[in-house]
A and B are shown apart, each in its own frame.
Chain A
Amino acid sequence: MRVGSPFVALLVLALPFVAFLLLALVRPLRRSAPAAATVSIAAIWTAVLAAFWLSWRARPRGLLQSPSTTWAWIPADGGPMATVGVMVDDKSMTMCMLVTFVSLMVQVYSWAYLHDEPRTALGRYYAYHSLFAFSMLGLVLSPTFLQMYVFWELVGLCSYLLIGFWYDRPSAARAAVKAFWITKLGDLGFVAGIVMLWTTAGTFDFWELFRMASLNTLPLQGLPLVMFLIYLGAVGKSAQFPLHVWLPDAMEGPTPVSALIHAATMVTAGVFMVTRAFPLFVLVPDVLTLIAWVGAFTALLAATMACVESDIKRVLAYSTISQLGYMMAAAGAGAPDAAFGHLVAHGIFKALLFLGAGVVIHVFHTNDVFRMGGLRGLPLLWAPFLIATLALAGVPPLPGFFTKEAILAGVLEAHLLVPFLMLALTAFLTAFYMFRVVFLAFFVRGLGEPHAHHRVPELMSGVCWALATLSVGTGLQLARVTLAGSRHGEAWLPLASLALAGGGIVLAWAMYQRGALDPARVAAALAPLDWMARRRYGLDVLFAGLYRGVLLVLSRVVGWTDRYVVDGVLNVLSAWTLRAGDRLRRLQSGLPQDYVYGVALGALLLFVLAQWRLW
């Protein structure tokens, strides 16, 4: 383990925040698109440099030395109740580099991609982007659960804002709300888990908690429930079954936003949290097994849905869900490092996939892969997408191969045979559906015609090539490390995963490029599966039904109760008061002698009572 300087980390954190503040508060800056973009990109560019410098200057540290630098936040007797600060270890430094770099790429790309947007909207867009980068950096640098939760919610807010960037489209507005509420459902568990953990352990601090875990002083009573609740937060954020339904809908946002959400900022938060808190998850093997099973199931489910989807961005969304399932399965199988490695590698090539998809969407003005195609003569366009696809499918020497293989090895080592088989099948399906997209979108002659006048801006292809180079570089680095290191996994595993990827690619080629197999006949042969996958296994309908059947009915009942029971009681009471007042009014005759009668009788009564001591 190495630690970096906390002050450089604070600088990385502060830069996007300052950019956000400038854009949010200084009106002329926000109204002028070039100025807004310059501020935001300059800040994130400096943050990239700072993040790499942070990692480069990191020094090894002793095992007992905490990587956190914290300041008191909520003071209390006998030490602060909560602290804030930064935790600068290998994980957070790697994440800082990934987040800042992908943010930079996406922001630069957005300038070209959203060039036709209204100038004022772009200022808003870049302000959200800066806030998003700040939130995610704060999340990965958090040394405590509480601070992580604060940034966790900020990340959710930013994704809501960006998914709903085109808020005048009803579908985008609905998708944003859906994303917000469904992730919020998981967050409820997360916050409950954090508070319960605090009541038993007395601290939010990761390092303290890890030390307690290693010294066996953490009370194990009730810990499985606590960790399960915390895991629920990751289920929502990282789109695990059954809370994955928000992610495909989130495609309503601009394509660069999807790239950011899927690669670096939003959905990775859940996996990152599980790997960060892994020393605590280790204490609860049952929850870990659950995580592995849910992850593997999510991976397979999403892969099957991706196979029948025709919207290029939705295919990528399902592939993200599927890969997140992979990461979760690895974490659940007790291989958090494999999960983290896949998280980083996936971040790079998934950003590239989305940005590459943005290029073809830009060319064809549609998301439908069947209306694309015929770009064989333009290798500058399809080569980066192909590299990313190969990386996702798991072809060496690209990074996906090594990290996926590490995950499969980890799951196999944990003797989770069924999840392993599910993941292996997913690997095959991943290669198949990704190459289906590649063949349909780029090579086969489709129904649509490219808009010839719409040249792809150099900025967009430049960003794609930069990410492609980074992908290849990461892959080569991983290959070097893997070949140099002593292997301890099964020898047949790399070959098997290579064969699975190859099989998927060949099948896609045979079906969509060569035409040897008719896709319609394959679909007919697998009719029940095809029917269910096309309807997304009814999960969207189920959630919509739950919303309508439970939430709306509940709110009607609550509304009725409020209107007729709560208000009704008050109305009856006030009506009675009015009527009683009307009756009692008659007592006031206005005649002085009547009042004197009253006083005299009252006095007499008191005398009588006093005389006979009646009270």
Chain B
Amino acid sequence: MPLIAYLTLAALVFAIGLFGVLTRRNAVGILLGIELMLNAVNINLVAFARFHADLAGMIFTLFTIAITVAEVAVGLAIVIVIFRVRRTVEADHLDLLRG
């Protein structure tokens, strides 16, 4: 399969993730969207590594996955704390920074 197919897949996944981030009202849903976007990036990295025969991309992907896991852990922890304090995780209600 040509490289463009991988890239198209990655772009699609990224767009779906972005759509989720923008439209989901639930904080957990937003986190899921972010995960999708990150995985789109991973697909890109792996595809380029494969087609350029460069192992660095693969290793970089492993790092990204590890960091993503940590990020989700922190993100979910924050969501739980917000839920305890505000009794909600609806993004529309989290507007304390309104100008």
Q: Are A588 and B97 in contact (CB under 8 A)?
A: yes
Chain A, 578-605, CB within 8 A of any chain B CB: 585-593, 596-597, 600
Chain A, 559-615, CB within 8 A of any chain B CB: 585-593, 596-597, 600
CB distance from B37 to the nearest CB of A (A): 11
Residues from chain B with a CB closer than 8 A to the CB of A591 are 91-92, 94-95, 98
Residues from chain A with a CB closer than 8 A to the CB of B22 are 593, 596-597, 600
Confirm or deny: B99 has a beta carbon within 8 angstroms of a beta carbon on chain A. yes
Q: Are B99 and A593 in contact (CB under 8 A)?
A: no
Q: Are B21 and A593 in contact (CB under 8 A)?
A: yes
Q: Are B91 and A588 in contact (CB under 8 A)?
A: no
Residues from chain A with a CB closer than 8 A to the CB of B95 are 589-591
Residues from chain B with a CB closer than 8 A to the CB of A597 are 22
Contact with A along B66-99 (1 / 0, CB 8 A): 0000000000000000000000000110111111
A596–B30 CA distance with the chains assembled, in angstroms: 11
A586–B94 CA distance with the chains assembled, in angstroms: 16
A485–B79 CA distance with the chains assembled, in angstroms: 118
Chain B, 7-39, CB within 8 A of any chain A CB: 18, 21-22, 30
Residues from chain B with a CB closer than 8 A to the CB of A587 are 99
Chain B, 45-83, CB within 8 A of any chain A CB: none
Residues from chain A with a CB closer than 8 A to the CB of B30 are 592-593
CB distance from A435 to the nearest CB of B (A): 92
Residues from chain B with a CB closer than 8 A to the CB of A588 are 97-99
A591–B30 CA distance with the chains assembled, in angstroms: 13
A597–B23 CA distance with the chains assembled, in angstroms: 10
Q: Are B18 and A600 in contact (CB under 8 A)?
A: yes
A163–B22 CA distance with the chains assembled, in angstroms: 85
A585–B99 CA distance with the chains assembled, in angstroms: 5
A326–B92 CA distance with the chains assembled, in angstroms: 97
Q: Are B98 and A596 in contact (CB under 8 A)?
A: no
Q: Considering only CB atoms, which chain A residue lies closest to B23 in the complex?
A: A593
CB distance from A584 to the nearest CB of B (A): 8
CB distance from B15 to the nearest CB of A (A): 10
A301–B44 CA distance with the chains assembled, in angstroms: 104
CB distance from A528 to the nearest CB of B (A): 82
CB distance from A611 to the nearest CB of B (A): 14
A587–B99 CA distance with the chains assembled, in angstroms: 7
CB distance from A52 to the nearest CB of B (A): 87
Interface size class of A (residues with CB under 8 A): 10 to 19
Residues from chain A with a CB closer than 8 A to the CB of B99 are 585-590
CB distance from A597 to the nearest CB of B (A): 6
Q: A597-B22, A600-B18, A600-B22 are known contacts. Are A590 and B96 too (CB-CB below 8 A)?
A: yes
Residues from chain A with a CB closer than 8 A to the CB of B18 are 600
Residues from chain A with a CB closer than 8 A to the CB of B98 are 588-591
Q: Considering only CB atoms, which chain B residue lies closest to A591 in the complex?
A: B95
Q: Considering only CB atoms, which chain B residue lies closest to A587 in the complex?
A: B99
Q: Considering only CB atoms, which chain B residue lies closest to A584 in the complex?
A: B99
A67–B30 CA distance with the chains assembled, in angstroms: 96
Q: Considering only CB atoms, which chain A residue lies closest to B21 in the complex?
A: A596
A141–B95 CA distance with the chains assembled, in angstroms: 83
A591–B95 CA distance with the chains assembled, in angstroms: 5
A600–B91 CA distance with the chains assembled, in angstroms: 18
A548–B98 CA distance with the chains assembled, in angstroms: 60
A597–B22 CA distance with the chains assembled, in angstroms: 7
A597–B91 CA distance with the chains assembled, in angstroms: 14
A596–B21 CA distance with the chains assembled, in angstroms: 8
CB distance from A485 to the nearest CB of B (A): 99
Residues from chain A with a CB closer than 8 A to the CB of B97 are 588, 590
Q: Considering only CB atoms, which chain A residue lies closest to B34 in the complex?
A: A596
A434–B99 CA distance with the chains assembled, in angstroms: 88
CB distance from A368 to the nearest CB of B (A): 81
CB distance from B23 to the nearest CB of A (A): 8
CB distance from A604 to the nearest CB of B (A): 10
A202–B91 CA distance with the chains assembled, in angstroms: 80
CB distance from B24 to the nearest CB of A (A): 8
Residues from chain A with a CB closer than 8 A to the CB of B21 are 593, 596
Chain A, 195-222, CB within 8 A of any chain B CB: none
A593–B96 CA distance with the chains assembled, in angstroms: 13
A519–B18 CA distance with the chains assembled, in angstroms: 113
Q: Considering only CB atoms, which chain B residue lies closest to A597 in the complex?
A: B22
Residues from chain B with a CB closer than 8 A to the CB of A596 are 21-22
Residues from chain B with a CB closer than 8 A to the CB of A592 are 30, 91, 94
A592–B21 CA distance with the chains assembled, in angstroms: 10
CB distance from A272 to the nearest CB of B (A): 75
Q: Considering only CB atoms, which chain A residue lies closest to B98 in the complex?
A: A590
Q: Considering only CB atoms, which chain B residue lies closest to A586 in the complex?
A: B99
Q: Considering only CB atoms, which chain A residue lies closest to B25 in the complex?
A: A593
A593–B92 CA distance with the chains assembled, in angstroms: 9
A193–B36 CA distance with the chains assembled, in angstroms: 84
A593–B98 CA distance with the chains assembled, in angstroms: 13
A518–B95 CA distance with the chains assembled, in angstroms: 104
Contact with B along A398-429 (1 / 0, CB 8 A): 00000000000000000000000000000000
Q: Considering only CB atoms, which chain A residue lies closest to B93 in the complex?
A: A591
A597–B94 CA distance with the chains assembled, in angstroms: 16
A585–B97 CA distance with the chains assembled, in angstroms: 11
Residues from chain B with a CB closer than 8 A to the CB of A590 are 94-99
Q: Considering only CB atoms, which chain B residue lies closest to A581 in the complex?
A: B99
CB distance from B70 to the nearest CB of A (A): 20
CB distance from A593 to the nearest CB of B (A): 6
Residues from chain A with a CB closer than 8 A to the CB of B91 are 591-593
A395–B21 CA distance with the chains assembled, in angstroms: 115
Identify 29 residue pairs between A and B in the complex whose beta-carbon atoms are under 8 Å apart, listed by A's number: A585-B99, A586-B99, A587-B99, A588-B97, A588-B98, A588-B99, A589-B95, A589-B98, A589-B99, A590-B94, A590-B95, A590-B96, A590-B97, A590-B99, A591-B91, A591-B92, A591-B94, A591-B95, A592-B30, A592-B91, A592-B94, A593-B21, A593-B30, A593-B91, A596-B21, A596-B22, A597-B22, A600-B18, A600-B22
Q: Known pairs A589-B98, A591-B98, A592-B91. 5 more at Cβ < 8 A?
A: A585-B99, A590-B94, A590-B96, A590-B99, A593-B91
Q: What 4 A-B pairs have minimum CB-CB distances, sorted nearest first?
A: A588-B99, A590-B98, A590-B95, A590-B97
